Amino acid sequence: MSLLQALRRLGQGPTMQDWPGLIEAYRSWLPVSDATPVITLHEGATPLIPAPVIAERIGRGVKVYLKYDGLNPTGSFKDRGMTMAISKAKEAGSEAVICASTGNTSAAAAAYARRGGMRAFVLIPDGYVAQGKLAQALLYGAEVLAVQGNFDRALAIVREVSERHPVTLVNSLNPYRLQGQKTAAFEVVDALGEAPDWLCIPVGNAGNISAYWMGFNNYRAAGRCRRLPRMMGFQAAGSAPMVLGHVVEQPDTIATAIRIGNPVNRDKALVVEAESNGAFMAVTDAEIIEAYKLLGSGEGVFCEPASAASVAGLLKRREEVPAGATVVCVLTGNGLKDPTTAIEHNDSKFHTGLPPDTDVVAQVMGF
Enumerate binding residues for ligand F0G (CB under 6 A): 76, 78, 101-105, 172, 202-208, 257-258, 304, 306-307, 332-333
Shortest Å, Cβ 311 to ligand F0G: 12
Tell me how far apart the alpha carbons of residues 320 and 316 are, in angstroms, rounded to a whole number: 9
- Rounded least distance, CB 103 to ligand F0G, Å: 5
Q: Would you call 29 helix, strand, or coil by DSSP?
A: helix
| Least distance between ligand F0G and beta carbon 130 (Å) | 9
* Strand-pair partners of 201: 233
Q: What's the closest the beta carbon of residue 167 comes to ligand F0G, in angstroms?
A: 17
Residue 62 or 218: the one with the smaller Cβ distance to ligand F0G is 218
- Amino acid, single-letter form, for residue 28: S
Q: For residue 125, which of 139, 144, 138 has the smallest C-alpha distance?
A: 144
In 3-state terms, what secondary structure has residue 8?
A: helix
Q: Min. distance of Cβ 252 from ligand F0G in angstroms? A: 15
Closest CB to ligand F0G among 108 and 325?
108
Q: Which is nearer to ligand F0G, 62 or 307 (CB)?
A: 307
CB closer to ligand F0G out of 158 and 325: 158
Do the beta carbons of residue 48 and residue 38 sit within 8 Å? no
In a 13 Å sphere around the CA of 107, the CA atoms on its Cβ side amount to 25
Of 231, 228, 226, 335, nearest to 280 by C-alpha is 231
CB-wise, 22 or 203, nearer to ligand F0G? 203
Least distance in angstroms from the C-beta of 322 to ligand F0G: 25
User: Which of 162/325 has CB closer to ligand F0G?
Assistant: 162
**Calpha distance 46→44 (Å, rounded):** 5
Instruction: CB nearer to ligand F0G: give 89 or 258.
Output: 258
CB 180 to ligand F0G: min, Å: 12
- b/e map 4-30, b = 16+ CB within 10 Å: eeeeeeeeeeeeeeeeebbbebbeebb
> In sequence order, what are the beta bridge partners of 169?
98
Cβ nearer to ligand F0G, comparing 204 with 296: 204
Closest CA relative to residue 169, chosen from 127, 128, 207: 207
Smallest gap from residue 253 Cβ to ligand F0G (A): 12
- The runs of H, that is alpha helices, within 167-248 are 175-181, 183-192, 207-221, 241-244
230 near 278, Cβ under 8 Å? yes
